[in-house]
Amino acid sequence: MKAYLGVDVGSVSTNLVVIDEQGQVIAANYLRTNGKPIEVVQGGLYEISKELDPDMEIAGAGTTGSARQLISLIIGADIVKNEISAHAVAASTMEEKVQTIIEIGGQDSKIIILRDGVVADFAMNTVCAAGTGSFLDQQANRLCIPIEEFGDYALKATNPVRIAGRCAVFAESDMVHKQQLGYNLGDIIAGLCDALVRNFMNNVGKGKEILPPVMFQGGVAANRGLVRAFNNYLGLEVVVPPQYGVMGAIGAALLARDTARKKGYTSFKGFNLQEIHFKTSSFECKGCSNACEVVQFFQDEELLARWGDRCGKWEMSH
Q: Is-contact 98 213, C-beta < 8 A?
A: yes
Residue-by-residue pLDDT tens, the chain, 318 positions: 899 999 999 888 899 999 999 999 999 999 988 888 999 999 999 999 999 998 899 999 999 998 898 899 999 999 999 999 999 999 999 998 999 999 988 778 899 999 998 999 999 886 666 667 778 888 888 888 887 788 888 888 888 888 876 676 777 788 888 888 888 888 888 888 888 888 888 888 989 999 999 999 988 898 899 999 999 999 999 999 999 999 999 999 999 999 999 999 999 999 888 778 888 889 999 989 989 999 888 888 888 888 888 888 887 654
What does the angle CA 85 – CA 86 – CA 88 come to, to the nearest 5 degrees? 65
Q: Please, what are the domains in the chain? A: 2-87+248-263 (3.30.420.40), 96-240 (3.30.420.40), 278-317 (no CATH)
This prediction's pTM: 0.86
HSE-CB at 151 with a 13 A cutoff on CA atoms is 16
Burial of 201 (0-12, 13-18, 19+ CB in 10 A): middle
Cβ neighbours of 17 (radius 10 Å): 28
Paired strand residues for 58: 3
